[in-house]
Homo-oligomer: A and B are copies of this chain.
Amino acid sequence: MSKTSRDLSPIFEPKSVALIGATGNPLKYGSIITANILANEYKGRIYPINPSEEKVWGLKVYPRIRDVPEEVDLVDIARPAEAVPEHIEECVESNVKAAIVISGGFKETGKEGEEREKEIARIARKGGMLLVGPNTMGIYSAKVSLSALMPPILPKPGEISLISQSGNIGTNLLAFGSAQGIGFNKFVSSGNEADVTILEYMEYFAQDPASKVILLYTEGLREGSNFVDVVKRITEEKPVIVYKSAVSKAGASAAKSHCGALAGSSKIYEAAIKQSGAIRASTVNGMLDLAVGFLYLPLPKGNRVGIVTWGGGYGVIASDSCELSGLEVPALSPETIQKIDQLLPSYWSRGNPVDLVGLINREVQPKVLEEVVKADNIDMIIASGFILSSSIGSSLYKLLGREQEDAGKNWAASGTKIIVNDIKTMVDKYHKPIVAVTLTTDSSTLKNVIESRVSAYSTLETAVEVLAKMHEYQKKLKKEKEYKLE
């Protein structure tokens, strides 16, 4: 953490939360946010604030923040914009440490809103209170089990910390990732950033040991921001994965009306991201795929990929994808070929990719994979088609009936468990990244694999992007290190 950055723990580790605008009306966000906090079993104390209600979701309601019997760490404000400055004033008077302003109707709506936004930022700063937003969808923190979020979702706890300049995209990523078995540590929808900015969140996550990978969805940057300096320092310690939108004229114009005018040319920002050493995802959901790779795998030491597939066509696509991403698909060494000769039928291709030529024997499959993993001229490995969808064998099930369907699902699931363990063991033993490609839309299969901490993807193209960007990051780290040693 740089010396000038503030301690954001009142936002992410509050001992108590008050909700100004809490209500029993289930169609209002003041109700949904309270429900989210309760449903996620927040570890601190909760104080709904509303002068005209007595109970919200069974909790005692206080008329004003000053009526709460303790000094509150964090306040969540879901009230019309006009009412917000007064609430901010009250919070400061009651020694609240941080406020999240959910309400819209600020800078993003024009001149009047901009003035109002400046006003609340001024009051908060003067009172030494941190301010998240306004125009934010809230925050999440695994440590205290706090889901102070607008949409009714329950994130899965984990190691990713995410900052999003779009509330919808951020909360969708939380929902989407959680459904895929990917867990989050901290999340903030940064909103209009009247006070705390994305760089401050990033510095906070950088020094937070529970945040292993930092994700950023960004549309634009504030003027005079020292993005390169700050992020460069962070990427030397942990990966920062960025999706930058508003890269076109149409996109920039949409962003302007979306989260208020953001200064700085997109091109300059893009250059800054590159210079900072942050990893740029090619799609917004792709940030999660990259995070899974960086979380569960060691970095590759070179750019040479070994490919093992169940199905030759996928080997062709994987090879294309590697070469187009700057990765090499080297020939197998005579030793490796000799070893695999003892495992596969005589007509196997003797090349990289290794096609398992329809081999059904699930004991031999991981042995072939291991020969490729341990090869000296291979730095990273794609294992495609090893993990079977739990719904495989529909025609056999149909003929053999319900009982066989269950037996078949168990067979696929137990096979998946074995190969998942084999892959984990090989990653640990050989210190090389292995990505699994499931080639299935069966989301429950993929989820189980990811929850076992194996990096698995449903398409080869995604798997290759992950490997290519891990290699890029490793190269950069190495260069930095050499530079420092000189």
Shortest distance in angstroms between A405's beta carbon and chain B's nearest beta carbon?
Answer: 12
A358 contact set on B, CB distance < 8 A:
104
Which residues of chain A (256-308) have a CB below 8 Å from chain B? 257-259, 283-285
> What separation, in Å, do the CA atoms of A168 and B311 have in the docked complex?
5
**Are A179's CB and B391's CB within 8 A?**
yes
A254 contact set on B, CB distance < 8 A:
312, 315-316, 318-319, 329, 351, 353
When A27-B360, A399-B38 are in contact, do A251 and B317 touch as well, CB less than 8 Å? Answer: yes
Please count how many residues in chain A sit with their CB below 8 Å of the partner chain's CB atoms: 90
**Are B323's CB and A152's CB within 8 A?**
no
**Are A349's CB and B257's CB within 8 A?**
yes
Which of A2-10, A117-125, A369-377, A438-446 lies at the interface with chain B? A438-446
Query: Please, what's the 1-or-0 string for A126-166, where 1 marks a CB less than 8 Å from any CB in chain B?
Result: 00000000000000000000010001111000000000111
Report which of B245, B350, B353 forms a contact with A313, defined as CB distance below 8 A. Answer: B245
A108 contact set on B, CB distance < 8 A:
347
**Are A395's CB and B40's CB within 8 A?**
yes
When all copies of this chain in the complex are counted, the total is: 2
When A35-B396, A166-B312, A329-B250 are in contact, do A179 and B320 touch as well, CB less than 8 Å? Answer: no
Which B residue's beta carbon lies closest to that of A220?
A: B316
**Are A311's CB and B172's CB within 8 A?**
yes
**Are B251's CB and A316's CB within 8 A?**
yes
Which B residue's beta carbon lies closest to that of A312?
A: B258
Report which of B147, B314, B322 forms a contact with A395, defined as CB distance below 8 A. Answer: B147
**Are B255's CB and A459's CB within 8 A?**
no
**Are B461's CB and A322's CB within 8 A?**
no
Asked if A415 lies at the interface with its beta carbon under 8 angstroms from chain B, I say no
Report which of B35, B247, B255, B284 forms a contact with A399, defined as CB distance below 8 A. Answer: B35
Which B residue's beta carbon lies closest to that of A439?
A: B172
Asked if A32 lies at the interface with its beta carbon under 8 angstroms from chain B, I say yes
Asked if A364 lies at the interface with its beta carbon under 8 angstroms from chain B, I say no
A179 contact set on B, CB distance < 8 A:
391, 441-442
Which B residue's beta carbon lies closest to that of A248?
A: B323
Report which of B258, B315, B393, B394 forms a contact with A316, defined as CB distance below 8 A. Answer: B258
A313 contact set on B, CB distance < 8 A:
164-170, 217, 219, 245, 258
A153 contact set on B, CB distance < 8 A:
394-395
> What separation, in Å, do the CA atoms of A232 and B430 have in the docked complex?
52
Shortest distance in angstroms between A39's beta carbon and chain B's nearest beta carbon?
Answer: 4
**Are B312's CB and A39's CB within 8 A?**
no
> What separation, in Å, do the CA atoms of A456 and B384 have in the docked complex?
27
Asked if A249 lies at the interface with its beta carbon under 8 angstroms from chain B, I say yes
A440 contact set on B, CB distance < 8 A:
176
> What separation, in Å, do the CA atoms of A258 and B250 have in the docked complex?
44
**Are A395's CB and B317's CB within 8 A?**
no
**Are A347's CB and B180's CB within 8 A?**
no
A36 contact set on B, CB distance < 8 A:
395
Asked if A355 lies at the interface with its beta carbon under 8 angstroms from chain B, I say yes
**Are A320's CB and B152's CB within 8 A?**
no
A257 contact set on B, CB distance < 8 A:
312, 349-351, 355
Query: Please, what's the 1-or-0 string for A426-444, where 1 marks a CB less than 8 Å from any CB in chain B?
Result: 0000000000000111110
Could you list 5 examples of A-B contacts with CB < 8 Å? A40-B395, A168-B385, A247-B320, A254-B319, A283-B461
